[in-house]
Chains A and B, each alone.
Chain A
């Protein structure tokens, strides 16, 4: 128990504060990496020495550009930066870090000789979490860094929890959503479409002869192909509304809200053509590939009360994809979801791109 009666929930750490009769506690036993950015070699050396003595892992950079490179390549929880530096100053570095919007929050501490109220406000406004004037006693410096470590630790554990919950719905290989996500969110899309009488379409995309590709180029090349496919689909669909999910080894569903069957057909044809045009550059060679695509759509009409269920739509899009495969692959085929609800496949039917 502490002298105030509270339980010690934090790990006790050693350091120079103990000489002043103060006990320091860090939030956990996790290591904390600090990037020290200062164009002055003496400042870098001194700060690094103090931090290492206080159980921090330390990287150092003489310029903001070097700092950004180090942050991009490595893992840094705290950025301790000088203000005045030759190429890019600390404020610009701070803004850069915030604008980059990385998944991991970086705690930024501005460390400068500029000690006016105006400077402090400018530093915080640029995105710094704390502001420290150079020359403060070592004890105060270490205490501020301990606060930074504690907050950076809380941020990382919050990021980890978020990552865990996202992991339930994402595919580890490609980073796309998985089947579980599809089942949960597709039913919501369907409900929304019914309620507001808005159309929405589904594309089922399967890589042709994927097993042969794996046999010929190796499993790693197959994995690279799938990752590339996901990247290309994401690049050619609308961000924030369209989404895709990997539902089998070589099979994906792409969901297009507010899209009729002709719109989905255009998207599918563009994707199919782009895959034919640009083979994947895998580590074991150039992999040419094609896809078989099925599409279906829900297009509510005023004179129809019937609407397809989720299963109807998935069966229909699967039928479309199978029809494309049966016709030799590298095709797009539209399929109606239910007998009661037709999709506008007129011109697609004429081209042989639709089945019922």
Chain B
């Protein structure tokens, strides 16, 4: 029979795990919303001319937010993909890259793919099409 304090500790750990699962479920809902924003931004990027600094900056900030949340909730693949997009966008701003910047598009596609579910394949297809438009 476990002691009272051991049971209390086990309950505290279980409570913490429940909290984490609850937060992950809420975060998942936010990821779906972020995914829509990213696809919208990628559409704007595909249409942009010259150096779309503002779009790169928006992508950088959004990726940073996703990265932070995912890191805290220990969702490593999303955190890593968001980190790649954040750095690619930072470099794109610095180097005054054009709308077809391959590093940004590769990171964007990888992140959106990770954030999606099987029943959200339409958005993925749309993103791939936009990438091709951007690449000319």
Which A residues are closer than 8 A to B by beta carbons? Answer: 14, 16, 18-19, 38, 40, 42-43, 45-47, 49-50, 53, 82, 84, 112-113, 134-135
| Interface hit among B8-16, B39-47, B109-117, B118-126 | B8-16
- Minimum CB–CB distance from A192 to chain B (whole Å) comes to 58
| Interface hit among B22-30, B91-99, B100-108 | B22-30
If A49-B19, A135-B74 touch, whether A14 touches B12 (CB-CB below 8 Å) is yes
Q: Are B12 and A42 in contact (CB under 8 A)?
A: no
Other A-B pairs beyond A46-B20, A46-B73, 14, CB < 8 Å: A14-B9, A14-B12, A16-B16, A40-B69, A42-B27, A42-B73, A43-B69, A49-B20, A53-B12, A84-B64, A113-B67, A134-B68, A135-B74, A135-B79
Which residues in B have their C-beta under 8 angstroms from that of A82?
Answer: 68
Q: Are B72 and A43 in contact (CB under 8 A)?
A: yes
Query: Interface on chain A toward B: helix, strand, loop, or mixed SS?
Result: helix
Instruction: Point out the residue from A16, A19, A42, A50 that lies within 8 Å of B69, measured CB to CB.
Output: A42
Which residues in A have their C-beta under 8 angstroms from that of B54?
Answer: none
Which residues in B have their C-beta under 8 angstroms from that of A113?
Answer: 64, 67-68, 71, 79, 83
Nearest 10 pairs between A and B by C-beta?
Answer: A135-B71, A134-B71, A49-B19, A42-B69, A43-B72, A53-B16, A14-B9, A46-B72, A113-B68, A113-B67
Complex CA–CA separation, A205 to B44 (angstroms): 75
Residue of A nearest to B64 (CB): A84
Which residues in A have their C-beta under 8 angstroms from that of B76?
Answer: 135
Which residues in B have their C-beta under 8 angstroms from that of A19?
Answer: 13
Which residues in A have their C-beta under 8 angstroms from that of B72?
Answer: 40, 42-43, 46-47, 134-135
- Minimum CB–CB distance from B103 to chain A (whole Å) comes to 18
Which residues in B have their C-beta under 8 angstroms from that of A47?
Answer: 72
Residue of A nearest to B20 (CB): A46
Residue of A nearest to B22 (CB): A45
Interface-central residue, A14, A46, A82, A112, by most chain B CB under 10 Å: A46
Q: Are B69 and A53 in contact (CB under 8 A)?
A: no
- Minimum CB–CB distance from B78 to chain A (whole Å) comes to 11
Does B51 sit within 8 A of A, measured CB to CB?
A: no
**Complex A-B: 14 CB contacts under 8 Å:** A16-B13, A19-B13, A42-B23, A42-B73, A45-B23, A46-B19, A46-B73, A47-B72, A49-B23, A53-B16, A134-B72, A135-B72, A135-B76, A135-B79
Does B32 sit within 8 A of A, measured CB to CB?
A: no
Which residues in A have their C-beta under 8 angstroms from that of B15?
Answer: 53
Does B4 sit within 8 A of A, measured CB to CB?
A: no
Complex CA–CA separation, A50 to B17 (angstroms): 10
Residue of B nearest to A114 (CB): B64
- Taken residue by residue from 67 to 90, chain B's Cβ proximity to chain A (1 for < 8 Å, 0 otherwise) reads as 111011110100100010000000
Complex CA–CA separation, A135 to B9 (angstroms): 24
If A134-B72, A135-B79 touch, whether A50 touches B30 (CB-CB below 8 Å) is no
